């Protein structure tokens, strides 16, 4: 999961750190409104905590891809021993599904909760 906010000038995504499980925790660290510097245009813009949104990070996709590549390699090894098995595929797609579901619910949880203006 990654946290991003939109730049008010060039509308590019700005990464928000630290990554917290929910908005209330993030507010404790950053405050209700805070300043973010855009990596693209250098503009420092005032951001409200509710403007931050959670998204899938690249590592999420890399992990999911690993769950796809891993059984393919296992299949190759197994078939070289003359064993044809779909078990690695079933297991890994199960893991991938569970991982994706978990990551998705974390993102939804973060995005659904709003702190509101103070
Ligand atoms: Zn910008």
pLDDT digits (tens, 9 = 90+) for 81-112: 888 778 888 888 888 889 899 999 999 999 99
How close is the Cα of 42 to the center of ligand 1, in Å? Answer: 6
44 Cα–ligand 1 center, Å? 8
Does pLDDT of 37 surpass 90?
A: yes
pLDDT computed for residue 46 by the predictor: 93
Compute the distance between CA of residue 96 and CA of residue 35 in angstroms, rounded to an integer. 36
Q: What is the mean pLDDT of the chain?
A: 91
Residues lining ligand 1 (ion), CB within 5 A? 7, 9-10, 38, 40-41, 43
Angle between helices 58-80 and 87-112 (to 10 degrees): 170
Instruction: Tell me how far the alpha carbon of residue 16 lies from the centroid of ligand 1, in angstroms.
Output: 14
Give the tokens for residue 57.
Answer: 């990070």
What is the pLDDT, as a whole number, of residue 85?
78
């Amino acid at each position: 999961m990654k946290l991003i906010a939109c730049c008010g000038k060039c509308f590019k995504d700005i990464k928000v750190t630290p990554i917290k499980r929910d908005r209330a925790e993030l507010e404790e660290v950053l405050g209700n409104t805070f300043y973010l510097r855009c990596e693209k245009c250098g503009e420092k813009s005032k951001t409200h905590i509710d403007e931050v949104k959670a998204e899938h990070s690249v590592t999420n996709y890399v992990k999911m891809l690993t769950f796809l590549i891993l059984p393919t390699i296992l299949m190759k090894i197994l078939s070289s021993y003359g064993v044809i098995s779909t078990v690695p595929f079933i297991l890994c797609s199960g893991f991938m599904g569970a991982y994706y579901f978990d990551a998705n619910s974390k993102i939804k949880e973060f995005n659904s909760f709003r702190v509101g203006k103070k």
